[in-house]
Structure 1
Amino acid sequence: MTLANGGDNIGVYVPVFTVAGTSGMVIYVSVFLIGVGLWCAAGRYFATRPVIAKALSRWGHVLLPVVLIGIGLLILIEGGAFGL
C-alpha cells in the first residue's frame, strides 16, 4: 500500500532517484523504511490503548477524512496555491 499509493509519486520520485546515485538511494531507502517503521510502531501503540482504540473505532471514519482534508488545505495554503 505504501509503495503503490499513486501515479503522482512516479512523476516525482523517478527523476529524483535517477540523479541520486548509490549513496543517495541508500539514504532515501533507509529514511523511508525508518519512517514506515515509526508509523507502524505508533499505530500499534495507539491501537493497543483501550481508550484510544475505542475512540478510533467509533470516530475514525469521521476523523481520518477531516485530518487528510486539513493536511491538504495546509499544503495548498503554505504552497501559495490560492495566491493568484
Structure 2
Amino acid sequence: MTFANGGDNIGVYVPVFATVSDGGMSVYVVVFLILAAVWCFAGRIFATRAVVAKALSRWGHILLPLVLIAIGLLILIEGGVFRL
C-alpha cells in the first residue's frame, strides 16, 4: 500500500525537484516546514478541545473514511474523469 500510494508523488515531485534552483528548493523547504507546523498546531488545538476530542474518539473511525472518499470523488469529478 505504501508503494502504491507514493508512486504518484514520486512521479510528480522528482521532476520538480530535479529542475528547481537552490533558491527555489529553499522556498519549498521553508513553506513545507511552516505548513507542517501549522497542521500540527491546528491538530493540537482541535484535539485538546473536550467536545472535539470526544466527537473524534466516538465518530472518527467513521468520519475519516467518509472525508477521504469525498475528497477522492471531488478530485475525480474536478479532473473530468467521469466525462466521456
Say whether the fold is shared (TM-score over 0.5): yes
What is the match of residue 78 of structure 2? 78
Deviation at 1:33, TM superposition (A): 1.1
Q: Give aligned-pair identity as a percent.
A: 73
Moved more, 49-58 or 23-32: 23-32
Pairs within 5 Å for 1:19-58: 19-58=19-58
Structure 2 unaligned blocks of 5 or more: none
Counterpart code for 1:21? S
Number of residue-to-residue matches in the alignment: 80
Structure 1 unaligned blocks of 5 or more: none
Q: Distance in 1 between matches of 2:9 and 2:81?
A: 20
Moved more, 59-68 or 31-40: 31-40
Q: Distance in 2 between matches of 1:38 and 1:7?
A: 26
Matched position secondary structure for 1:83 = coil
Q: Distance in 1 between matches of 2:82 and 2:59?
A: 31
Q: Distance in 2 between matches of 1:70 and 1:29?
A: 29
What is the match of residue 62 of structure 2? 62
Q: Which runs of 4+ in 1 moved over 6 A?
A: none
What is the match of residue 9 of structure 1? 9
